Amino acid sequence: MPELPEVETVARGLRDTVLGRTIARVRLKAPPGSTVVSPAFGQKRFERILRGRTILDVRRRGKNILLALSGDATLWVHLKMTGHFYYLRKTEPVDRHDLVVIDFKAALGCDNGKNLRFNDYRRFGRLRLYRDDELWQQRGLGDLGPEPLEMSSREFLSICRRSSRMIKPALLDQTFVAGLGNIYADESLHAARIHPRRATASISSRKLLELHHHIQRLLKSAINKMGTSVDSYAGVNGQPGRFQKYLRVYGREGLPCKFCGRAVVREKVGSRSAHFCPRCQRP
């Protein structure tokens, strides 16, 4: 699933391409029964409501993308496992996995020969439309934890001290910290040399401060390299990320740790897998 750096890269790509554009037409290509669009909307109603609205802002919150629209409405997008936005030439054939196609009104200074497509071959992605006064009441947005790039070290310490739980599942909990997933949690814990099963209450303040530093450092570096492409992730321009070249433990099971040479292991921690070095990250 795309994590904070990948979603931030997509949000920036949307700002560069469709910010300020007015929607001329929406074509919902999802098959009957698909939940890519809220079941509360019929296909024609969803297309009709979006038509004529201008994209006023594009924001990221955790792993979510929020497109603020004219008329006090917001399109809330979650890419889930395999969702993509692509900005493509209208002449390119519509792929069978292009579930939503958005055309824009012609405008000066814009590439009027392209449209925006939401593509998702597994059909787990979600596009939800809400009035602005309803948006932050929705589960999955209103209950998100702080942004890791915005929280101070003091705030991170306070969050970790509120309860005692295994650090890896805590980092994956979006109500704890918003935007982290398996990749950057594993990489941050390895950089700080903290075992993924360590209880938050047992980790010293010094180590937690070190972890906070590595979380922010790795996220910023991954954003600069347009994210990590380990499956199908790509930006709005179709280009993959480059941070996968710098991974030290994630996806490297059986390969030598880049700190000590011991083989990286993968074990189930909580309900998710974790990659770590058993020598550098002792229990």
Return the active site residues.
2-3, 63, 272
DSSP 31: P
- Identify the H or E element spanning 133: helix 132-135
The Cα–Cα gap between 117 and 103 comes to 9
What are 275's two structure tokens? Answer: 């990659």
In angstroms, the CA 119 to CA 122 distance is: 9
Single-letter code of the amino acid located at 196: P
HSE-up (13 A, CA, CB side) for residue 100: 27
Amino acid at 254: G
- Residue 50 is which amino acid? L
Which contiguous run of DSSP H or E holds residue 268?
strand 265-269
Distance CA 13, CA 58 (A): 10
Residue from 70, 29, 31, 30 nearest 51 by CA? 70
> What phi and psi, each to the nearest 5 degrees, are found at residue 142?
-65, -20
Contact 244, 228 (CB under 8 A): yes
CA distance readout (Å), 80 to 65, 192, 253, 260, 267: 11, 28, 24, 35, 23
Query: Strands, DSSP E only, in 71-125?
Result: 73-78, 84-89, 98-104, 114-119
